[in-house]
Amino acid sequence: MIDKIYCAQVKPEMEGQRVKLAGWVYRKREIKDKVFIVLRDSSGIIQTVFKEELSKEAYETAKKTGIESSVIIEGIVKQDKRAPGGVEIQADKIEVIQNVEFFPITKDASPEFLLDVRHLHLRSPKVAAIMKVKATLIQAAREWLLQDGWYEVFPPILVTGAVEGGATLFKLKYFDKTAYLSQSAQLYLEAAIFGLEKVWSLTPSFRAEKSRTRRHLTEFWHLELEAAWMDLWDIMKVEEELVSYMVQRTLERRRSEIEMYRKDLTTLKNTEPPFPRISYDEAIDILQSKGVSIEWGEDMGADEERVLTEEFDRPFFVYGYPKHIKAFYMKEDPSDPRKVLAADMLAPEGYGEIIGGSQREDDYDKLVQRILEEGMDPKDYEWYLDLRKYGSVPHSGFGLGVERIVAWILNLDHVRWATLFPRTPTRLYP
């Protein structure tokens, strides 16, 4: 490890100090007898200036160094109001680790090209800002979960059955058997609550969704919680407290990164619980009154959700969905068997669903019946059904799509920008 300081650590108060920086050439321009190199590292950028009179050798080398070359630069800190951050480095030494003649990403690259060269695009400060926000959100989630007494568990990714419908399963050969990539850790988390009561996991989930929307990936990061002894209303409280903590902490710790993407922070600030709650029935009424053609019993897609979000300046819940549009494991509403005890959390500004959650069907016979109704074989779910035989308890849980919450917070036009190497039906490389 070299003894260097980060670009963002250089402050105007350090005037006159000698510093060593290491990073990549972000921008370069030559004006008369000076070469300006804006240096980039993981913390940010800083302007360095090379003058012939200070060091002819460094000046000549800087002149020949291309964009994205890796370099170590040394020099004296100098206040300068014209430089970004009000400070620059009067450089007298440059060591080129690797010179780059030509960097493939230029100013007006198309989004598709940027995805083709994602391995190079990741170094852009704007992309790094997204990854920092994502990491901070997850760090905040961990803090909250630890404080609130949830155990982290590590469920399998290679599985034998569907959680969210067979149509979106990725199938693979597993020796002489068939296996699938996990769509959700939920069923395994349900098994874990009998020993640990409140559990969570963060795993990749896979969906073979052909639909090309701005909110679907074939591989996404899934934060899932499951708790014994909680009903739907209890788990909704957990959801809003967790999301509130994640957003508030990220707003405190990543303000400048967030402001690279959005000017208006209102909806992020509006995340003090409780979040508004509307029933599915009310949602249908709102949509119909706004001229959307939808009948009771129909599922809401991205378009319908977008219209609903116009009613709110903060995240909100829609609860009490019709049974036949929701997953087999959701508990039937005892007061209306046409419905299930399920709630989705929707993000405002058109983003829509970021969380899907429910109370789980804890009755053995009802669960078997739902599995059959879905055209599945109860034999494939024998171990899961066992959980309803030996000390079954009321329990609830939910899944949060990490890229979806990042997309909302940063106002991104597609969830693919919220992931390191996006996987979509047409993209598996790089």
Cα–Cα distance measured from residue 186 to residue 191, given in angstroms and rounded to the nearest whole number: 9
- Among 22-30, 95-103, 118-126, 393-401, the segment contacting ligand 4AD (CB under 6 A): 393-401
Which x/- pattern, by CB under 6 A, does the window 199-218 give for ligand 4AD? --------x-x------xx-
Cα–Cα distance measured from residue 233 to residue 239, given in angstroms and rounded to the nearest whole number: 10
To ligand 4AD, the closest distance from the beta carbon of 417 in angstroms equals 12
Instruction: Output the CA–CA distances (angstroms, integers) from residue 86 to 124, 173, 371, in the order listed.
Output: 22, 59, 65
- Among 4-12, 138-146, 220-228, 421-429, the segment contacting ligand 4AD (CB under 6 A): 220-228
The full DSSP string for 205-226 is: EE-------TT--SEEEEEEEE
391: DSSP letter: S
Provide the residue type at 202 as one letter: L
Pairing of strands 87-98, 177-181: unpaired
Which is closer to ligand 4AD, CB of 144 or CB of 206?
A: 206
Contacting residue, 404, 407, 409, 418, with ligand 4AD by CB under 6 A:
404
To ligand 4AD, the closest distance from the beta carbon of 21 in angstroms equals 38
E-strand stretches of 306-420:
316-319, 332-333, 336-340, 342-347, 352-359, 395-401
The number of C-alpha atoms within 13 Å of 121 and in the hemisphere containing its C-beta is 22
Token pair 């990539």: residue: 181
Which is closer to ligand 4AD, CB of 50 or CB of 245?
A: 245
Query: Around Cβ 34, how many Cβ atoms within 10 Å?
Result: 15
Cα–Cα distance measured from residue 227 to residue 229, given in angstroms and rounded to the nearest whole number: 7
To ligand 4AD, the closest distance from the beta carbon of 186 in angstroms equals 4
Which x/- pattern, by CB under 6 A, does the window 346-375 give for ligand 4AD? -------xxxxx------------------
Q: How many residues bind ligand 4AD (CB under 6 A)?
A: 23
Instruction: Output the CA–CA distances (angstroms, integers) from residue 81 to 47, 74, 150, 219, in the order listed.
Output: 12, 21, 49, 46
Which is closer to ligand 4AD, CB of 216 or CB of 254?
A: 216
Which is closer to ligand 4AD, CB of 353 or CB of 374?
A: 353
Contacting residue, 44, 155, 320, 401, with ligand 4AD by CB under 6 A:
401
Contacting residue, 242, 403, 416, 417, with ligand 4AD by CB under 6 A:
403
To ligand 4AD, the closest distance from the beta carbon of 222 in angstroms equals 6
Which is closer to ligand 4AD, CB of 23 or CB of 356?
A: 356
Which is closer to ligand 4AD, CB of 40 or CB of 134?
A: 134
318: DSSP letter: E
Query: Which parts of 95-134 interact with ligand 4AD (CB under 6 A)?
Result: none
Residue 141 near ligand 4AD by CB under 6 A: no
Token pair 């074939």: residue: 218
Residue 186 near ligand 4AD by CB under 6 A: yes
Q: Which helix (H) or strand (E) holds 232?
A: helix 232-253
Residue 184 near ligand 4AD by CB under 6 A: yes
Query: Which residues of the shown chain bind ligand 4AD in the complex (CB under 6 A)?
Result: 163-164, 184, 186, 207, 209, 216-217, 220, 222, 224, 353-357, 397-399, 401, 403-404, 415
